[in-house]
Structure 1
């Protein structure tokens, strides 16, 4: 069986013409499609099989039934003059018309999607948001924006369309910043040449070979001073003629590389800038692809930005009319850029001051929300890796934390994934897709040596399968199944593709031809990286093995099988590794993702967080809020994942929406850098002790936990006294887990008897140099020598990692309880944590690891709630803060700084209550979100 692809294409073309003749609107329903197909069949008078008719129906549905709702945008000025709307009628759409036709006719985009891109995203939004190239602003101007798309959703098509529209409107200079990897830059260069320029700019191409939009043989009005062969080198004199003197638009496709950025900036200034102002009086559009990668200022000093960030800003400052527009699918780092800067215009940071736009998601896009939630449409196409294990003494089992020269036994599940790739290729051939590219991804190590070793193993697997398929596969099923490789391929077919629409005999007959031409390549950022070439009209079948290069922007055409086993700990990196997102036209049912169960759950969490971010953008738009005025929050409810790297979140804080504190411990890793606030907190603590002593409670050092050191402890303190203390405390807003208002309301409102009385313990230190007097008891202060002062934020950070207490501090207060010894309670908690960990992670718990502090509350019922008080001797880490430290200590005198932690044991009756953590930018804390939502709701009711 199989499809005649030429016949399918011919009938599809006839139906397409009938659609255009009828002027059918975008909502082309199934009955209309059926009617038009029957009419085309009558006209053609050629017999078609049911499968061929079904293929035509799929093609027409793809083209006309896909919808893309308009995206959302928030602006600095909602009343701005929409210059593009005013001038659109007089602008000749030469570049755009060529590109639009290319997307529909050559790239097979849905006309509906292209229409939304041109009319809404570009015309109504982006073009109006950038500077008018014809306007005289009287002084240098820089506009900054951010475009948020989905991973593998077509951001490249959007920004090439953006370039086309801008060039039609009068822009002449385009600077396209790709990532840091040459393979990605080359891929982007190819797409710009195909979609905008129309010729291959490679140095070895005499006269320029026409490609993409240039195949219409019309005059070429754009050029690039980079090529597929090389980044910008600064050794071409063409540029002196290109800017201002020629009518052609000029594009630079460059990596985010300090040398390249420096060369380009110098070249522009030396050969094109006004010698008096050192600026070029021309409009320039800079597009930063993967804007969260390398562009973010990760320096702790915002006045001294990191090098690439500084160079991008300097490059943007060369032109009098500059636009910086970042594109990303993972905006978590970008929204945490500090919008409050005292720097001059020429060193403005890259916060999207002027606009943020969320691109529309076409209805045929297969993203995380359609794969990873348990009730998702494609969830059944996940295959969990359960045999990677952990490193054993023999070193054979592959696991997350392997060494850079690791050579051991790879998981057997990887072989199954490779066999699935063979099967999917055969099925696609049977469906008539022989000319389409096919890819498999193996991303399980970041080390180049390990990637090369994996390639060796994959080549052996492939060679063995090749021999079995060529010499042992026959029409005799029983005989074929005696071959262990063929038997295993058959079992993979049974588990994955038995319902694909073809019998085993049909698939088996197509297998050898389907897998024979598969190439195996290592694709990474090293110089030895192999190239991924996707020639036009030629089916490239490749197993791509790699790490970073497969995780940042590089597109694997026709990706069907993904084998992914990585333990990154940030939203953005994990999402970028998801190369399997995108469009799977004609093989939606065939793609498979082999991954770790925890990774799948992380993706589900990220998908939910991203949707919440988009919902917040809708709220922002409805309220007319500006990017700098409205706080942005990103849900982060995972203990294992951060939104982005720590150094990209220097200006971010936590917000903690709490419904319950049972089974958790919250603390104050940030203190107020305020002498009076600290003295107030110490008075509140001593007043609590004094009140307890007046009621006859003992305040003395006693042993707690399983053989733990003694602490000064107050036992059976009534809850109302704890609430009084919390109400008096002055806590830094950056210690958002320890939100005194939320804690007080929770404790006061909870009627459960399990928290009627508390243990209160003072966590003293070792050194006698700093001792505090608490109602007659001498308590040694806790030393914290890595404190970081941020006086502008009224913040004293305890430790570089934002942790106040140690993992074992929660053991304080665990004593013999309800017939169980403290030792039994602790060991049971450890066992429960190990069981939970192994279920969540899918790997054994390493008993040498430290148990997190939450263990002593989440997995313990038999204990009282605990309030830990830390009397802190502050010691700063930064040499340039020693003066501030000395002044702070002098003002404090003998009074210590106060930190706290509150832990409540698990309460199964209250298990339904939940809590949600968000990471928020600096501005978010200035607003009451509930009040905003109430205002908005009232407005809607009116």
Structure 2
């Protein structure tokens, strides 16, 4: 589209690894240019592609000093033909491309042009290497990218008035791009867009995460919703199989724990391999698949070999990021094929072989005969998946019967075992070892793709866009000390267009890891939904996009970010006080007067008959309480609406379709927050409005209840729950209040210490109530409404149970050195409110 619109130069920045660069190049030829490595030269009159296929797709790969051919580029420039450059995001390649462009598209040439020279830079996997992590980062890659049009790593403007540049970044995991230092010229500024995926439902207006695909499930993109939720309760038909990660037991030694862990790893590997082999055998019996995995047959033409190949059936084992673990795991696969079941660790191999790839068919046949029951059980499991998926539109799956086991067994021995291949794809950036899914030449003949029936053991090289065709079985054993959502989302290579063979797909991993995957998916959907909502309203939201993380993981490890929980916690206290502006202090006291003039107020007495304060006989709703909190005013706290902490409320409203503002601080100029959001009356008011909105049947992607952090808001019973009511009370102290209106109501002032800057109290909550004599100020309202059970204050901050009323406990704080006493308030929130954790710039 860019070239059709008249762009002169298209720069496609491929991945940082050679394998991904070459995959991108081959896809550009096939999907954009409509050519092959053999026919690409025939279209030189239409465009110039650099490098030329012969310069990088063959064994003698040219370096950038040679593949950026200046004579060809100058010819294209004179003929006004567009130029396409496909280069990896490696600094040396970018440096040479910058010099090449400065030389070929010279100042003299730009001076002579009657129209601007247009450059479009497409940055594939834009969160990989293109992110600037801090203002002081010495990272060079982003600067070299911008220098392609500026000519100077320290400048982002085009180097000539007759040159225009457009930079478009795309990635499946943009968290780091949104959170990076905003001075990076590559940070998103002008627009954001999210692509929809083909699925069962969805329209254009309003945009949804998917669009309706008329061809049915065979053409659906199978992502987290299908893998993690659709068959979650399908029993044997579930796609994800999990195991509990071993934790040390009482009295157990570290050696015994390691032994249990090792036994579980062998068990998971065994189950995954059996699943993979049996699935391949069943597929080989389908019409037209007779020779799909036969690597010995030669064909006279590419089309004949491609027709025979039908499709790949592959497996991925992801043990860790360490390259040595990849080879060790490949050796373990060999041990498994050779071992008596249960004795895999006893097999001794010659580990001098650095890349073990040869699997003996006889070993596999012997293993099959020793545990045939475990192998044949997979037929019933695949059939359970088929039945669970049968209601999907145009499901193409044939019945799988346990009675077919003899035919499946024969296919295993004759078709699968002789052709399976074991491949190690290491994570060395200089490696060009990549999966081979194209028909291969064999002299004058052709064979089916070399990796049509391969088991891949890999790590980071498959965590960044490199595609495994026909991936059916995934064994994910990797963990992380501090999981990052964007990195682990990229590791989920089982996502893709799997609809044709979905009943055979399985993911084997640990239970806690699967829960992380589920949370990543929820947050990912929330991010996409927010962007799509902004597209619907025609708003260019630049980089003001809300990025979520979780209690157990960060959004990204590529940049520093701070955690900003949504919920203010179980007992937020507004300790702000106004000591500088007496007009504002009197305005705050007016809030107390107005409260006491509204409704019936009764003495609040504990079980010993001691009067602790006053309480309003009937509670108010969260929207009413939010209005009260918004009336408070401070000279040192009036949050700026452009602050990132403030803008997130606008994000929430946009995401959830809320028409009225949630966050309504006073319109004043303030450099920053005078208090954290958990102590800001306007933030707490916004939270109460949000909670009120989410009560009932409301979609809230990315949210979860405070008492169920592992359950998305829409998956729990929160939709049917109502928001809490709040009792309003005043706490009595030992001092007389000076305002006669308050004194007439019987209010007495409390004594509290003030902070050194006189802007906030040192503490708000008073009597803690340890022991059985008093519930404590946080739960003083329970003496009035008598809701059971009464929470215990012991052990720190305690939530009120879900369904209990909340509390807003106001305090008149004695200030004899000031003209007016001070007003503060502490709140008690019950469990069950919405929460999520935003990642914000530090």
Q: Specify the TM-score bucket, using the shorter chain as the normaliser.
A: 0.5 to 0.7
Whole-angstrom distance in 2 between the partners of 1:592 and 1:527: 29
| 118, 122, 131: which one aligns with 1:283 | 118
**Contact 1:443-1:546 at 8 Å conserved across structures:** yes
Change (3 A) 1:558 1:743: closer
Map of 2:427 onto structure 1: 525
Q: What does the per-residue CA deviation read over 1:244-290, in whole Å, with 9 as the maximum and x for residues that have no partner?
A: 42356543332222332223212322454226989997432211111
Whole-angstrom distance in 2 between the partners of 1:189 and 1:665: 57
**Contact 2:180-2:187 at 8 Å conserved across structures:** yes
Whole-angstrom distance in 1 between the partners of 2:771 and 2:247: 36
1:456 aligns with 2:322: no
Whole-angstrom distance in 2 between the partners of 1:369 and 1:181: 30
1:514 aligns with 2:416: yes
Map of 2:49 onto structure 1: 223
| 481, 487, 497: which one aligns with 2:373 | 487
| 576, 581, 586: which one aligns with 2:490 | 576
1:590 aligns with 2:508: no
Map of 1:562 onto structure 2: 474
Map of 2:685 onto structure 1: 741
Match runs of 1:720-735 below 5 Å: 728=632, 730=637, 732=639, 734=645, 735=676
1:243 aligns with 2:98: no
Change (3 A) 1:754 1:919: closer
**Contact 2:14-2:21 at 8 Å conserved across structures:** yes
Q: Displacement of 1:185 after TM fit?
A: 1.5
1:210 aligns with 2:38: yes
SS in 1 for 2:496: coil
Q: What does the per-residue CA deviation read over 1:31-76, in whole Å, with 9 as the maximum and x for residues that have no partner?
A: xxxxxxxxxxxxxxxxxxxxxxxxxxxxxxxxxxxxxxxxxxxxxx
TM-score (normalizing by structure 2): 0.58
Whole-angstrom distance in 1 between the partners of 2:317 and 2:574: 42
| 173, 196, 200: which one aligns with 1:330 | 173
| 287, 292, 298: which one aligns with 2:133 | 298
Q: Displacement of 1:384 after TM fit?
A: 3.0
Q: What does the per-residue CA deviation read over 1:527-556, in whole Å, with 9 as the maximum and x for residues that have no partner?
A: 686542223132522222222221111101
Change (3 A) 1:277 1:440: same
Map of 1:361 onto structure 2: 198
Whole-angstrom distance in 2 between the partners of 1:675 and 1:234: 67
| 120, 145, 148: which one aligns with 1:312 | 145
Q: Displacement of 1:424 after TM fit?
A: 1.2
SS in 2 for 1:299: coil
Q: Displacement of 1:420 after TM fit?
A: 0.6
**Contact 1:443-1:545 at 8 Å conserved across structures:** yes
| 390, 394, 397: which one aligns with 2:254 | 394
| 459, 463, 486: which one aligns with 1:547 | 459
Change (3 A) 1:170 1:514: same
**Contact 1:419-1:489 at 8 Å conserved across structures:** yes
Q: Displacement of 1:358 after TM fit?
A: 2.6
Whole-angstrom distance in 1 between the partners of 2:582 and 2:317: 54
Change (3 A) 1:426 1:743: closer
Match runs of 1:108-507 below 5 Å: 127=1, 166=3, 170-196=6-32, 210=38, 221-225=47-51, 227-228=56-57, 233-236=63-66, 239-246=69-76, 247=79, 249-274=82-107, 282-300=117-135, 306-318=139-151, 320-336=163-179, 348-354=185-191, 356=193, 358-359=195-196, 361=198, 363=213, 364=219, 365-373=221-229, 380-390=237-247, 393-394=253-254, 410-431=265-286, 432-433=288-289, 434=292, 435=309, 436-464=311-339, 470=362, 483-496=369-382, 501-502=400-401, 503-507=404-408
Match runs of 1:772-811 below 5 Å: none
1:857 aligns with 2:799: yes
Whole-angstrom distance in 2 between the partners of 1:814 and 1:187: 67
Change (3 A) 1:487 1:919: same
Q: Displacement of 1:196 after TM fit?
A: 4.8
**Contact 1:178-1:253 at 8 Å conserved across structures:** yes
- Structure with the largest fraction of helix: 1
Change (3 A) 1:490 1:728: same
Whole-angstrom distance in 1 between the partners of 2:61 and 2:496: 28
Change (3 A) 1:389 1:903: farther
Gaps of 5+ in 1: 1-126, 131-165, 201-208, 342-346, 475-479, 699-713, 762-773, 783-795, 797-804, 822-852, 870-897, 923-942
Q: What does the per-residue CA deviation read over 1:417-474, in whole Å, with 9 as the maximum and x for residues that have no partner?
A: 1111111111121123312222211224222233332222122113448999737969
Map of 1:815 onto structure 2: 770
Q: How well do the aligned residues superpose, as a CA RMSD in angstroms?
A: 5.9
**Contact 1:384-1:595 at 8 Å conserved across structures:** yes
Change (3 A) 1:472 1:602: closer
**Contact 2:603-2:613 at 8 Å conserved across structures:** no
Q: What does the per-residue CA deviation read over 1:107-154, in whole Å, with 9 as the maximum and x for residues that have no partner?
A: xxxxxxxxxxxxxxxxxxxx3xx5xxxxxxxxxxxxxxxxxxxxxxxx
Match runs of 1:893-908 below 5 Å: 904=829, 906=831
SS in 2 for 1:245: helix
Change (3 A) 1:778 1:360: closer
Map of 1:103 onto structure 2: none
**Contact 2:8-2:119 at 8 Å conserved across structures:** yes
Q: What does the per-residue CA deviation read over 1:212-233, in whole Å, with 9 as the maximum and x for residues that have no partner?
A: x77x999785332262368884
Whole-angstrom distance in 2 between the partners of 1:491 and 1:329: 36
**Contact 1:299-1:306 at 8 Å conserved across structures:** no
SS in 2 for 1:175: strand
SS in 2 for 1:326: strand
SS in 2 for 1:544: strand
Whole-angstrom distance in 2 between the partners of 1:748 and 1:775: 32
Q: Displacement of 1:210 after TM fit?
A: 0.4
SS in 2 for 1:385: strand
SS in 2 for 1:587: helix
Instruction: Tell me the matched-pair count.
Output: 609
Map of 1:710 onto structure 2: none
Q: Displacement of 1:415 after TM fit?
A: 1.6
Map of 1:538 onto structure 2: 449
Q: What does the per-residue CA deviation read over 1:370-426, in whole Å, with 9 as the maximum and x for residues that have no partner?
A: 232256799943233214324684357679xx9xxx999725122201111111111
Map of 2:697 onto structure 1: none
Whole-angstrom distance in 1 between the partners of 2:29 and 2:732: 69
**Contact 2:91-2:144 at 8 Å conserved across structures:** yes
SS in 2 for 1:369: helix
Q: What does the per-residue CA deviation read over 1:796-840, in whole Å, with 9 as the maximum and x for residues that have no partner?
A: 9xxxxxxxx9xxx9999473359999xxxxxxxxxxxxxxxxxxx
Match runs of 1:537-936 below 5 Å: 537-538=448-449, 540=451, 541-565=453-477, 566-567=479-480, 569-584=483-498, 586-628=500-542, 632-633=545-546, 636=548, 638-645=550-557, 647=559, 656=566, 664=570, 728=632, 730=637, 732=639, 734=645, 735-736=676-677, 739-742=683-686, 813=768, 815-816=770-771, 856-857=798-799, 904=829, 906=831, 911=832, 914-917=833-836, 919=838
Whole-angstrom distance in 2 between the partners of 1:473 and 1:321: 64
**Contact 1:316-1:324 at 8 Å conserved across structures:** no
Q: What does the per-residue CA deviation read over 1:89-116, in whole Å, with 9 as the maximum and x for residues that have no partner?
A: xxxxxxxxxxxxxxxxxxxxxxxxxxxx
Whole-angstrom distance in 2 between the partners of 1:439 and 1:334: 32
**Contact 1:398-1:409 at 8 Å conserved across structures:** no
Change (3 A) 1:444 1:683: farther
